[in-house]
């Protein structure tokens, strides 16, 4: 057997092993994302457009919803409890957002729903959440065609003093209580998911 052919077989074998390892890692990452998604609830606000005014309005709506719901959700014992509270207060959430829209002089519609949403990889402080489907409170302003704002509503990693986006020590401890040790360490490994997903993007395609 010629030397070139032996080298070719070795390279093919190495590629097959690499594909197997990558496939196993992808499966592990997918299971981890699904486990994390079962325990958290996200918050997603879509602006009417990318104009400066609409983007500023988006943040004002975010703050109004946070101020409206922070005390109500403070007593949520788990994601299921948080979902029930949000479902029971969707009209209240919509009204809070509509008040802001009207105060700013717009006539945009507002739609607030609790639904499954595709999220990209997102980092909040030291915490990186993998891409995938998550249950989320979704607030759509007008056409909903502008850049989005994303966060974690349960456990609360969105608001400090009701209106500021922040991930403080208390938020990190609440997240640790919700997730398993392995899940928490994975989320804490900030940026690792982005590298993994880039390496595995061809598998998705």
Beta-bridge partners for 42? 136, 152
Greater confidence (58 vs 128) lies with 58
Q: How much is the average pLDDT of 57-62?
A: 94
What pLDDT digit, counting tens, does each position of 62-75 carry? 989 988 888 888 88
Greater confidence (27 vs 97) lies with 97
H helix runs in 44-133, sequence order: 52-73, 79-88, 90-103
pLDDT at 125: 76
pLDDT at 201: 41
Q: How much is the average pLDDT of 149-168?
A: 70
Q: DSSP readout, 143-195? A: T--S-EEEEEEETT-S-BTTTB----HHHHHHHHHHS-HHHHHHHHSTTHHHH
Widest distance between CA atoms in the chain: 80
Residue 111, both tokens: 């739609």
Strand 41-46 relative to strand 132-141: parallel, antiparallel, unpaired? parallel
- What is the phi/psi pair of residue 56, to 5°? -65, -40
Question: Is the predicted pLDDT of residue 54 greater than 90, yes or no?
Answer: yes
What dihedral angle (degrees, nearest 10) is formed by the CA atoms of 18, 21, 27, 32?
Answer: -120
pTM metric for this prediction: 0.74
- What is the phi/psi pair of residue 144, to 5°? 65, 35
What pLDDT digit, counting tens, does each position of 170-199 carry? 778 888 888 888 888 888 875 444 444 443
Element (H, E) at 141: strand 132-141
Q: Which residues 6+ apart lie within 8 Å of 56 measured at CB? A: none
pLDDT at 151: 87
DSSP code of residue 48: S
């Amino acid at each position: 057997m010629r030397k070139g052919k032996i080298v070719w077989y070795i390279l093919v074998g190495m590629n097959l092993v690499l594909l197997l390892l990558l496939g196993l890692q992808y499966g592990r990452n997918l299971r981890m994302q699904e486990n994390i998604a079962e325990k958290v609830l996200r918050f997603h606000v879509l602006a009417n457009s990318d104009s400066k005014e609409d983007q500023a309005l988006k943040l004002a709506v975010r703050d109004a919803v946070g101020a409206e719901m922070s005390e109500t959700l403070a007593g949520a014992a788990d994601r299921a409890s948080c979902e029930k509270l949000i479902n029971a207060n969707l009209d209240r959430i919509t009204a809070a957002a509509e008040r802001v829209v009207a105060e700013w002089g717009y006539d945009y519609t507002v739609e607030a729903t609790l639904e499954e949403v595709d999220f990209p990889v997102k980092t909040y402080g030291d915490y990186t959440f993998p891409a995938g489907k998550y249950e989320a409170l979704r607030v759509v302003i007008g056409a909903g065609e502008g850049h989005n704002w994303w966060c974690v509503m349960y456990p609360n990693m969105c608001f400090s003093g009701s209106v500021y986006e922040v991930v403080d020590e208390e938020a990190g401890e609440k997240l640790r209580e919700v997730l398993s040790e392995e899940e928490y360490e994975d989320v804490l490994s900030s940026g690792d998911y982005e590298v993994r997903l880039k390496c595995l993007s061809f598998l998705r395609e």
